[in-house]
Chains A and B, each alone.
Chain A
C-alpha cells in the first residue's frame, strides 16, 4: 500500500519539477532574445549588490511597514522551505519525520518553522488587507486592473493556504504523537499548532490520521503547484531578484549608455580622412535599427528586469509624471515589456522556433508615445525599485527609436534639436552671443 504512495509521490514530484524546468528553459530563451550587453565586469561589486539588495532586502525597508512584513514572508519562505527537504524524503521513502534523529536541533527547527509560518500568515493577511480593504493607491491604479490584481491575490491565498496546511498538519501530527499512534513518534516542538491540536479531541484516531495525511499531501502538492505558477506570475521575483540585482547597471544613475553604432557613424562623419565608401570593418555589427520598438531590440538585462518585476508599484508611486496625472507608469512599462515578450515567446513556440511577424510591437500596441514623452528622466523609479530594475532605460531606448528611426519627436523637441544642430543651444540664439552675459549690466 505504502509503496503505491511513494510511487505516486515520485511521479508528482517529477511532473512538478519537470514542467517547471521546461518553463525555466523557455524563460532563459526569451531573455536571450534581447540584445547582448556585457555585465560580466566588476563581479565583486555585483556580488555585494546582490547580497545587500536581494538577500539583505536593503531597499525594501525604505518603506518600513511593507519592508518589515516582506522580510517576515521572505525569511519565512526561505527557512520553512528547509522542511520541504524532509517532506520530499518522507514522501519518497515512506518515512515519517526522517530528520527527527537530530533531536533537540530538530525541535528547534520545527518550532521556528511554526513561529515563522504563523508570522507569515499574519503578514500575508495584512498584505491582503492593504490590497483589498485599505486600497493603497499603488495597488488600485488602472495598470493593475484584471489579471495582475488577481495574480497578486492568488499568491496571497496560496501562501495563506500553505501556511494553514502546514500548521494543521503539525497539529494533527502532535495529536497523534501524544496518543502514541503507529509511526507518529515523539518529534519536534509545536509552539503554534499545540493550540490547534485540541480540535482533534474526541475525533477518531483514523480520522485524525486521514486529516494529517490530507494536510501533508495538499501541502506538498500546493508547493509544487506554486512552484509552477511562478513562471506565469509576478511571483517569479523570488528567484529572479537575485540575478536581476547581480546584473543591474553599476554606473551612476545619470549615465545613459552611448550607442556604439552611433559613435562609429559620427566618427566617420567627423573624420576628414575617413573613406565613406570603405566597406564596414564588420558588416554584421551594423544594427538593424537604432533604439527599440520591440522587445528584441532591448538588451537581455532589460528583459530580465521585466520578468523580475513584482509589480509593487513603488516606481509608479514615486514617478512625478504619474503623480500629476500623466499616463506614464514605470510599472506598466515593465509589465508591458513582459507581456509582449511572452507573446513573442509563444509565437516562437507555435512556429517551430522562429518568430513570425505578427504585425504588433511593444511600441504603440503596448506602450504609447504619450507615456514615453511624459518621462522627465528623473530616476525616481530606478531609485525606488527594491531590486534595481530600470524602467528609464527602456523609455530612453524607445524614444531613440521614435526620434532616430521615425523622426517622430514632439514638434517642440524637433525645434530644440534643430537649434542645437544649427546654433549649439536649445534656443535660437547665435553661438557668437554666448559670452554676451559677461558684458551685460
Chain B
C-alpha cells in the first residue's frame, strides 16, 4: 500500500493564504496510539480521494480535555478547552470533523459556552455526506457479503443520538449488517468512557470489554465495526482475550471504507 498522504496543517494553509473547508481534529489517540493512527490514515485517504479541502492542527492540537472533565478535573478541562478555542478561533475554524466520539462530543457540546462555536461532525457523518454529495463512491470490495456488527460508541450514540450514519456506510459496502442484542440506545459501553480507559477497572467479577465482546461474538461476525479509537482498543483486547483474532477483526468504519476501495 503506497502511503502518499496529503496532510496539510492549518499553519501551512494560512501561510499560503488558504482557508480549508474543514478542520480534521485528529485527537490524542489518533495521533499517538499505534492502532488508532491506522484509523487516522484511513480517514485521510478518504479525504484525499474525495479531494476534500481540509487541514489538521498538527503540533498545535492539544487534548480536548474530555478525560480530565470526566475524571472531575474541571480546571484542567477548561484550560485545555480555552487554549484550543484560542487556536481554532485564530484560524477562523468553522467546521470540524473528528474520528473520536469523545473529542466530537466535547467540541460539539462543551466548547460553545466557552467561546468555541463550530459545526462538529463525526467522521462517519462526514463520509456519509461525501457520498450523498457524490464526492466519493464506494463499493463493497472485499467486504461484500461479510457479516459485520456495529458497536455504538456511547459518546456518538446515546450522548448525541447519532446511530444511523455508521450503519448506512456499512450497508453501502453490501455487507450483511447484523445487530447485537443490545444496540443503538441500548448499546453496552465498551468500558473505556469516563476516563476508565486510563485506569484499572474497579473491583468486579468481569471486565466490561469482555461482556461487550461476548455481545458482539454472539452475532457471529467476521468483522466488528467500531467508530471510536477507544472502543476499538477495548474490543480488540476482548477479541484477543477470547482468542478469536484469527476469525474476527475489529475495524473502524473509516478503515472499512478505505480498505474496500483499496485506498
Contacts and interface: CB of A to CB of B under 8 A. Distances in A.
Contact of A424 (B80, B114, B161, B185): B80
Given A327-B202, A425-B28, A258 B110 contact: yes
Contacts of A421: 76, 79
B193 interface: yes
B5 interface: yes
Given A252-B161, A253-B159, A416-B195, A434 B75 contact: no
Nearest to A372: B72
Contacts of A256: 69-70, 110
Chain B interface category by residue count: 35 or more
Contact of A420 (B63, B158, B185, B202): B63
B105 A370 contact: no
Contact of B61 (A255, A326, A434): A434
A305 interface: no
B32 A429 contact: yes
Nearest to A270: B82
Nearest to B182: A318
Interface stretch (A33-41, A161-169, A226-234, A399-407): A399-407
B188 A255 contact: no
Given A255-B110, A416-B195, A431-B62, A376 B208 contact: yes
Contacts of A320: 188-189, 191, 208, 211-212
A412 B202 CA distance: 12
Interface residues of A, number: 69
Contacts of A269: 79
Interface in B103-120: 105, 108-110, 113-114
A420 B67 contact: yes
Contacts of A238: none
A404 B199 contact: no
A377 B211 CA distance: 17
B18 to A, nearest CB: 18
Nearest to A400: B72
Contacts of B114: 258, 263
B262 interface: no
The CB with the most chain A CB atoms within 10 A, among B40, B73, B78, B211, is that of B73
Contacts of A429: 31-32
A71 interface: no
B79 A431 contact: no
Q: Top 8 nearest A-B pairs by Cβ distance?
A: A254-B159, A377-B194, A399-B72, A325-B205, A424-B62, A378-B189, A325-B204, A255-B109
Interface of A: 251-256, 258-259, 262-263, 265-267, 269-270, 290-291, 318, 320-321, 323-328, 370, 373-380, 382-383, 396, 398-404, 409-410, 412-413, 415-417, 420-421, 424-427, 429, 431-438, 440-441
7 contacts: A253-B159, A262-B75, A377-B70, A396-B72, A416-B68, A420-B63, A438-B5
Given A398-B72, A420-B67, 7 more contacts: A253-B158, A254-B108, A383-B185, A396-B72, A404-B73, A420-B80, A425-B63
